[in-house]
A = this chain, B = another copy of it.
Amino acid sequence: MNVIVTDKIFDPWQEVQRFQNDMQADGQFGACVTFIGTMRDFNENTDVQKMTLEHYPGMTEKHLAQIIDEAKQKWNILDAFIVHRVGDFKPGDPIVLVATWSAHRAEAYEANRYLIEELKSRAPFWKKETLKEGTRWVEHNTPA
């Protein structure tokens, strides 16, 4: 499974290690790049206390699998792995893990960056933040 969407808190380091062990590709990859997106306790200069992440079940998984396929066509990578959590978050909770493996480092970096940028622009997730003064939907992601 290259894509996991879960409503449970996850440990990104455990997930990436488990996936890498399952790859059984020791000695083939020289580079692994990971990106971990984590909930901050501030956004646009305002304290954020909680966050709820909504998604479109089915469409999310479909598009995450699509962007992984695209990355594999564009770069010579051995594998890629995405975990994205949904539901209720507190500051410090991991939101997303993107991991890429390749023989040489350039491919792993570039594919990793591609995956998170495409995820942020195409995968149907929506964030709603709880502030001191109420709640607000995040209207758009910050550009790369």
Chain A interfacial positions (CB closer than 8 Å to B): 13-14, 16-17, 26-42, 91-92, 103-106, 108-109, 112-113, 116, 142, 144
Interface residues of chain A: helix, strand, loop or mixed (majority):
mixed
Closest to A143 in B: B106
Q: List 15 A-B contacts (CB under 8 A).
A: A27-B39, A27-B91, A27-B92, A30-B37, A30-B38, A30-B39, A32-B35, A32-B38, A33-B112, A34-B34, A35-B105, A37-B105, A40-B103, A104-B142, A109-B112
CA–CA, A35 to B16, complex, Å? Answer: 12
Taking A28-B40, A105-B144 as known contacts, 19 extra A-B pairs with beta carbons closer than 8 A to each other, sorted by chain A number, are: A13-B14, A27-B41, A27-B42, A29-B38, A29-B40, A30-B39, A30-B40, A31-B35, A31-B37, A31-B38, A32-B34, A32-B36, A33-B34, A33-B35, A34-B34, A35-B109, A37-B105, A104-B142, A105-B116
